[in-house]
């Protein structure tokens, strides 16, 4: 289904019952940021804090993500953050392929309406769905690819960085690439 604008899409998502995750959610986490953002970051799905607040990446992983944003002069107001699924999977399990497929129609509309020039996939779930089903984050992180005229990159999920701090320098290098590419393409990352 096509929507005229993000607000209409948001309303549809608030009432969405396409998959079982809607039964256990507290809030739909629609996504947040500049509706005309040129860079979108896409995570996996809401965790506990996100489910409670209705906002993406506000828990521990989000606070780590903010450190990378800060270091690279990226402001949350200027970019857009969304997730593969908009409702929390119980116990933070991976969203099932069916749940992802149901939610993908909303995400595709969100991307169509926002029209970003760059999409950064945070972690395996987003990268495998949006870039390449065989995407290996440890091998392919930081590589630029183009899909339908949009520049795409997969990098580490911040929750994975919390579990494996040894990956943090590699993640920082990816964020440097994001900053440099944004500068090269005249993409504003800060108000």
Minimum separation from the CB atom of position 134 to ligand URA (A)? 20
Which of 57, 9, 189 lies closest to 116 in space, CA to CA?
189
- 121 DSSP β-pair partners: 42, 154
Residue number, nearest CB to ligand URA: 43
Residue holding tokens 């999409």? 119
174 binds ligand URA (CB under 6 A): no
* 83 lines the binding site for ligand URA (CB under 6 A): yes
Q: List Cα–Cα distances, 141 to 55, 128, 157, 180, in angstroms.
A: 26, 12, 10, 16
Q: Interface with ligand URA includes 154 (CB under 6 A)?
A: no
Q: Which is nearer to ligand URA, 27 or 188 (CB)?
A: 27
Find the binder of ligand URA among 47, 89, 95, 154 (CB under 6 A).
47
Among 108, 144, 112, CA closest to 129? 108
In this structure, the number of other CB atoms found within 10 A of the CB of residue 106 comes to 23
Q: Is residue 56 near ligand URA by the rule CB under 6 A?
A: yes
Work out whether 79 is an interface residue with ligand URA (CB under 6 A). Answer: no
| Residues making contact with ligand URA (CB under 6 A) | 43-47, 50, 56-57, 59, 61-62, 83, 159
């Amino acid at each position: 289904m096509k929507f005229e604008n993000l607000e209409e899409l948001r309303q549809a998502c608030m009432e969405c019952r396409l998959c079982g995750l809607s039964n256990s959610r507290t809030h739909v986490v629609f996504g947040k940021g500049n509706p005309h953002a040129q860079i979108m970051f896409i995570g996996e799905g809401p965790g506990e804090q996100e489910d409670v607040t209705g906002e993406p990446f506000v828990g521990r992983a989000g606070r780590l993500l903010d450190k990378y944003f800060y270091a690279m002069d990226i402001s949350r107001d200027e970019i857009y953050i969304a997730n593969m699924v908009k409702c929390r999977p119980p116990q933070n399990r991976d969203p099932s392929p069916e749940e992802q497929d149901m939610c993908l129609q909303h995400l595709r509309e969100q991307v169509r309406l926002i029209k970003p020039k760059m999409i950064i996939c945070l972690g395996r779930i987003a990268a495998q769905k949006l870039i390449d089903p065989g995407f290996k984050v440890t091998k392919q992180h930081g590589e630029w690819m183009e899909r339908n005229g949009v520049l795409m990159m997969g990098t580490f999920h911040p929750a994975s960085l919390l579990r494996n701090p040894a990956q943090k320098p590699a993640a920082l290098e990816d964020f440097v690439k994001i900053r440099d590419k944004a500068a090269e393409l005249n993409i504003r990352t800060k108000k």
